[in-house]
Amino acid sequence: LARKQRATDAGGIELAVAALQAHPQVADVQQECVWAMASVCAGTDAAALARKQRAAVAGAIEAIVAAMRAHPQVQKMVCRALVNVCFGTDGAALARKQ
């Protein structure tokens, strides 16, 4: 858990979103960034909920969906990332699901 937070504190979420946006046609970049987002956003504690919200604000949901559209072979990982980013029952989670 500490590693997820360290990655987040270092700007990892925003960097992964930026890489997804900068390299939309590179399947390997898309897959690895989506995997990283799925990993960093996993969890249900307060810190995980904050990481999920940070990812959503950074544009992760749109970038992840774009990866699925461009590279059908990453759909399984995209689904996992979307579940992890959108999961929750708090007000912010409900907004992410809209």
pLDDT tens per residue, range 59-94: 999 999 999 999 988 888 888 898 888 876 666 656
Q: State the Cα–Cα distance between residues 24 and 48, nearest whole angstrom.
A: 27
Structure confidence at residue 92 (pLDDT): 63
* pLDDT of 6 strictly over 70: yes
Structure confidence at residue 94 (pLDDT): 60
Name the DSSP class of 73: G
Cα dist. 87→21, 68, 79 in Å?
23, 19, 12
User: Tens of pLDDT along 25-49?
Assistant: 999 999 999 999 999 999 989 999 9
Torsion on CA atoms 41, 97, 94, 37, rounded to nearest 10: 10
Torsion on CA atoms 59, 63, 65, 67, rounded to nearest 10: -170
Considering the entire predicted model, what is its pTM? Answer: 0.86
